[in-house]
A and B are shown apart, each in its own frame.
Chain A
């Protein structure tokens, strides 16, 4: 099993350009998440999908959109990139959102630079 995969690994954009970050998981998980990681701030939740067909905003959703394409895939789109979106982006998945605890499995990350 590959677990959680993300593409691309690295990307450089100019301000105003758009792009989509792809994420897929092969663990048959119901819930998927997008985080951004900035120095000293830990991981902050951008959007999540509790189950196929649903998406919800997290802590920092402005400037992003998401699509839960099917149970396996969850993409993150930047419509008009800004330098403030320079970050490392992680996708994660978990069996479900509800329950006594929520163990999440993470992809390797996408390092995005916006000039």
Chain B
């Protein structure tokens, strides 16, 4: 079945890089996404990658996709306290409406 897994917590020091990992099981995904949820707010799209790409860079964010291992990662360079939030990966399945979310990783940035 379809499943998207993430570790629940990550703690880093301000200025360090953060790497949030995600594994998924469905190989038919078209797009893979990273969403950010700040306290008291809904989810907001951070970045996405098309399934035929290996890497996407967007300012401080780097997304790596390993299709063979079904592994997605989000690297945040120079992590700031404002990056503290819950990060969800999600996959959109080819030809369907369907969107599968991971369990979310709570990132805590220590000053």
Q: Does A associate with B in a complex?
A: no
Query: A residues touching B (Cβ–Cβ < 8 Å)?
Result: none
Query: B residues touching A (Cβ–Cβ < 8 Å)?
Result: none
